DNA sequence: AGCGCTCGTGGAATCGATTACACCGACGGG
DNA sequence: CCCGTCGGTGTAATCGATTCCACGAGCGCT
């Protein structure tokens, strides 16, 4: 592969001049410029990004470590992150943690080894020493969706409290009183928060959230299935199950179907995170929708701000309830999703 | 950030020795080794992958350019690719083309600039000059799922012909005679092949595939919706629609729902690519399942073979039909999906 | 004792860029 | 006419690793 030296030889100038042309530095004669450009063309020269990064100490690359690529929510997030990054002149390297802290660490480590300019993380757990060290060492970093308390890093996320309140109000109005939740890992902020918000919202209606109605999931489908089975085996099973993410809702669907039960007749179901398929499931699923694309873009902007020396601030955007049929029908017509 | 020089100074040896310890070269004294290791520990030293890559001319990184991250099929593919690559000591950088040739080129270019060791591509179109040049220039490359004819590059893909034949037989047995297809872009091999296989299978039953029953989609949901609308507006609408990928099937579902029609009563639906949600849609969707994970792993193995100087061969794995309810019920019990 | 190994080590070249510094010629002002 | 300035250019240092080569010490063999 042609290097800058070859271009210099071909154009009859020094490598310095070639470099200046390529980085359009002002003081290059028109003549030299055209000769260099011609040489670049004939040789099909492309600058070696590795060498450039070594010299300039910047890679113009962002690392994105997400909890699970198979989760459509994170996939959409990744897409908007890449889009915004590209618009700002950065590339993105995605690492998929599969909800495993060890894999998360593996990716953080390789990304750091590659000297990415900044790191976007949706942490799978309470924070490994590795990540904490990186943050302390001054690696530009931003948390997205989930975060780690006590670390001085901007957080970009959705606020679901209000939407959860709306959801519980909706469920209460439909006559449901025994509400259960499939929670995410307690080590994640979203895992905790959603349970808290749910409990609080129940309280507002004078309802309790007994321990038996809190199932411990891990944000993956299989755990949703297992927890739902457990709920159905209770002497007094819940009337509603609220899954803290869409994959666990999928698992719940599996469990209900395996028993030959009907939603919402035998059990109502709602989920955090709205995805396109929820419109077409049997029945369509009531969900809390996050402004995923905007979250991704805001996170990139915050990170790039940090990288380029600007403050880079936290952002919190509201989530909203999208009512469908999985919790039962109102006697009177209600707002219906248009998605 | 500490460099190899700092480690050398701390350990009281030369950088050469440090490097040797790090790459466990045999001829290093036990004493030097422990001193170096200790220095590495106290400084928290991590080798700079950028510098290493420049010197060794290898990045131990694979580029993966997929057509659409929002498509669960590619997401699953990406996951298995990363998994296998990691097992073989490589990282993966994913580029999402969003089915746009210009974006695909953008990613191929940046990946090449980064001097990735090899490229895994599922081409969005018939092949840009850029990709052809790269292949000709000897960049290790492997096509996965889709490929570009006439380029000497291994292809790892699923063979769907037999499964499509099974599907058509199934549809025929159910009494359907007017079968339509939502095709993918003609510029993609999968776009063409699936239509061809469908036409051939129809022929075996003495059925035609009129032009009016071939809708031109682009593998994205919106096109599936649009094409399905077109089908429904025909004087003689088809009885079955076969979507060439899962996103277009989603679009078809949208269209059918918008008209207040029922599946399979008013229109039957089948799709290429099976995904978990198809079990829970209303109704569950009959689909052709690819061995996605195995495809991804085989592709990585072929690519790494090429990179490391071994032949690296093409692989074709069979797809299979998964019958669900979206095409109607058999009067007699039939094989039913277990997923 | 002397020769030739091997082993462990360090110095220095190298990868492909960027960029500080020096230099040279032309030009304008005093 | 001379000097300072500036535009255009090249030389060489540099980034952080790897690795070739040389060298010295120690050892075994004759």
Convert the pLDDT of each residue in B79-88 to its tens digit: 999 999 999 9
What would the mean pLDDT of A103-125 be, rounded to a whole number?
A: 96
Chain B, 207 to 226: residues with Cβ < 8 Å from chain A are 221
Which pLDDT belongs to residue B294?
Answer: 97
How many Å apart are CA A36 and CA A24, to the nearest integer? 12
CA dist list (Å): A158 to A100, A143, A163, A217: 23, 12, 10, 21
Query: At A334, is the pLDDT very low, low, confident or very high (cuts 50, 70, 90)?
Result: very low
Q: Do A250 and B277 touch (CB under 8 A)?
A: yes
Q: Do B250 and A276 touch (CB under 8 A)?
A: yes
Which pLDDT belongs to residue A333?
Answer: 47
What would the mean pLDDT of A125-137 be, rounded to a whole number?
A: 89
Q: Do B96 and A86 touch (CB under 8 A)?
A: no
Q: Percentage of chain A surpassing pLDDT 90?
A: 91
Which pLDDT belongs to residue B127?
Answer: 76
- Positions of chain D reached by protein Cβ under 7 A: 7-12, 14-20
Which pLDDT belongs to residue B27?
Answer: 86
Which pLDDT belongs to residue B330?
Answer: 64
Contacts of A153 (CB under 8 A, 6+ apart): A135, A141, A142, A143, A147
In angstroms, the CA of B26 and the C1' of C6 are apart by 13
In angstroms, the CA of A242 and the C1' of D29 are apart by 83
**Nearest nucleotide over every DNA/RNA strand to the A56 CA, judged by C1':** C18
Sheet holding A179-183, edge to edge: A214-216, A179-183, A240-243, A268-272, A286-289, A320-322
Query: 3-state class of B117 per DSSP?
Result: coil
The protein residue nearest C20 (Cα–C1') is: A16
Chain A, 171 to 190: residues with Cβ < 8 Å from chain B are none
Looking at the predicted structure, is the pLDDT value of residue A294 above 60? yes
User: How far is Cα of residue B305 from the mean position of the Cα atoms in its chain?
Assistant: 19
Looking at the predicted structure, is the pLDDT value of residue B333 above 50? no
Task: Answer for A16: CB within 7 Å of strand C.
Answer: yes
Chain A, 12 to 41: residues with Cβ < 8 Å from chain B are none
Which pLDDT belongs to residue A233?
Answer: 96
Taking contacts as CB-CB distances below 8 angstroms, the residues of chain B near A133 are 44
Tokens of A211: 């321990």
**Mean pLDDT, chain A, whole residue set:** 94
What would the mean pLDDT of A313-329 be, rounded to a whole number?
A: 94
pTM over 0.85, yes/no: yes
Considering only CA atoms, which of A197, A248, A195, A178 is closest in space to residue A220? A248
Please answer whether residues B167 and B270 qualify as being in contact, where contact means their C-beta atoms are separated by less than 8 angstroms: yes
Which pLDDT belongs to residue A329?
Answer: 79
Weakest mean pLDDT among A1-15, A141-155, A219-233, A317-331: A317-331
Which pLDDT belongs to residue A125?
Answer: 85
In angstroms, the CA of B132 and the C1' of D3 are apart by 59
The protein residue nearest C6 (Cα–C1') is: B27
Please answer whether residues A303 and A85 qualify as being in contact, where contact means their C-beta atoms are separated by less than 8 angstroms: no
Considering only CA atoms, which of B263, B286, B264 is closest in space to residue B274? B286
Query: At A331, is the pLDDT very low, low, confident or very high (cuts 50, 70, 90)?
Result: low
Considering only CA atoms, which of A109, A147, A145, A114 is closest in space to residue A129? A109
The torsion of the CA quartet B85, B104, B220, B303, rounded to 10 degrees, works out to: -30
* B113 contacts chain A (CB < 8 A): yes
In chain B, which residue's Cα lies nearest the Cα of A63? B93
Considering only CA atoms, which of B183, B293, B301, B316 is closest in space to residue B241? B183
How many other C-beta atoms are found inside a 10 Å radius of the C-beta of residue A109? 16
Query: At A231, is the pLDDT very low, low, confident or very high (cuts 50, 70, 90)?
Result: very high
DSSP label of B47? -
Looking at the predicted structure, is the pLDDT value of residue A339 above 80? no
Mutate to test the interface with A, among B1, B48, B50 (most CBs of A within 10 A): B50
Looking at the predicted structure, is the pLDDT value of residue B335 above 60? no
pLDDT digits (tens, 9 = 90+) for B170-226: 999 999 999 999 999 999 999 999 999 999 999 999 999 999 999 999 999 999 999
**Mean pLDDT, chain B, whole residue set:** 94
Placement of tokens 């077109």 in the chain: B230
Please answer whether residues A123 and A148 qualify as being in contact, where contact means their C-beta atoms are separated by less than 8 angstroms: yes
Q: Do B280 and A281 touch (CB under 8 A)?
A: yes
Which pLDDT belongs to residue A330?
Answer: 64
Q: Which residues of A211-224 are buried (b: 16+ CB within 10 A; e: fewer)?
A: eebbbebbbbbebb
Q: Percentage of chain A surpassing pLDDT 70?
A: 97
In angstroms, the CA of B88 and the C1' of D23 are apart by 39
Q: Percentage of chain B surpassing pLDDT 90?
A: 91
The protein residue nearest C18 (Cα–C1') is: A55
Query: At B155, is the pLDDT very low, low, confident or very high (cuts 50, 70, 90)?
Result: very high
- B288 bridge partner residues: B272, B321
The torsion of the CA quartet A252, A253, A256, A257, rounded to 10 degrees, works out to: -150
Q: Which of residues 262-321 of A touch strand C (CB under 7 A)?
A: none
Tokens of A13: 């100038």
């Amino acid at each position: 592969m042609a290097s800058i030296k070859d271009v210099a030889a071909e154009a009859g100038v020094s490598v310095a001049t070639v470099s200046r042309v390529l980085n359009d530095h002002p003081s290059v004669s028109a003549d030299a410029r055209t000769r260099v450009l011609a040489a670049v063309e004939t040789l099909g020269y492309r600058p070696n990004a590795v060498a450039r990064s070594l010299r300039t100490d910047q890679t113009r690359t962002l690392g994105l470590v997400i909890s699970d690529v198979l989760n459509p929510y994170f996939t959409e997030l990744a897409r908007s992150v890449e889009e915004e990054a590209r618009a700002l002149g950065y590339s993105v390297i995605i690492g998929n943690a599969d909800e495993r802290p060890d894999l998360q660490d593996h990716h953080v480590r390789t990304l750091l080894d590659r000297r990415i300019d900044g790191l976007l993380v949706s942490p799978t757990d309470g924070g490994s020493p590795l990540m904490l060290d990186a943050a302390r060492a001054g690696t530009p970093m931003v948390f997205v969706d989930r975060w780690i308390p006590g670390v001085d890093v901007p957080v970009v996320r959705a606020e679901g409290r209000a939407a959860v309140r709306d959801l519980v109000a909706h469920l209460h109005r439909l006559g449901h009183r025994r509400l259960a939740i499939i929670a995410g890992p307690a080590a994640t902020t979203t895992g905790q928060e959603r349970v808290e918000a749910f409990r609080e919202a129940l309280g507002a209606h004078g309802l309790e959230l007994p321990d038996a109605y809190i199932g411990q999931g891990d944000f993956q489908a299989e755990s949703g299935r297992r927890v739902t089975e457990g709920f159905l085996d209770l002497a007094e099973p819940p009337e509603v199950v609220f899954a803290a993410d869409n994959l666990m809702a999928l698992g719940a669907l599996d469990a209900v179907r395996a028993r030959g039960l009907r939603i919402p007749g035998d059990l109502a179901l709602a989920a955090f995170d709205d995805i396109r398929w929820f419109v077409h499931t049997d029945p369509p699923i009531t969900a809390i929708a996050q402004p995923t694309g905007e979250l991704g873009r805001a996170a990139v902007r915050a990170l790039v701000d940090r990288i380029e020396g600007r403050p880079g601030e936290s952002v919190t955007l509201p989530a909203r309830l999208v009512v469908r049929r999985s919790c039962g029908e109102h006697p009177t017509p209600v707002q219906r999703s248009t998605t």
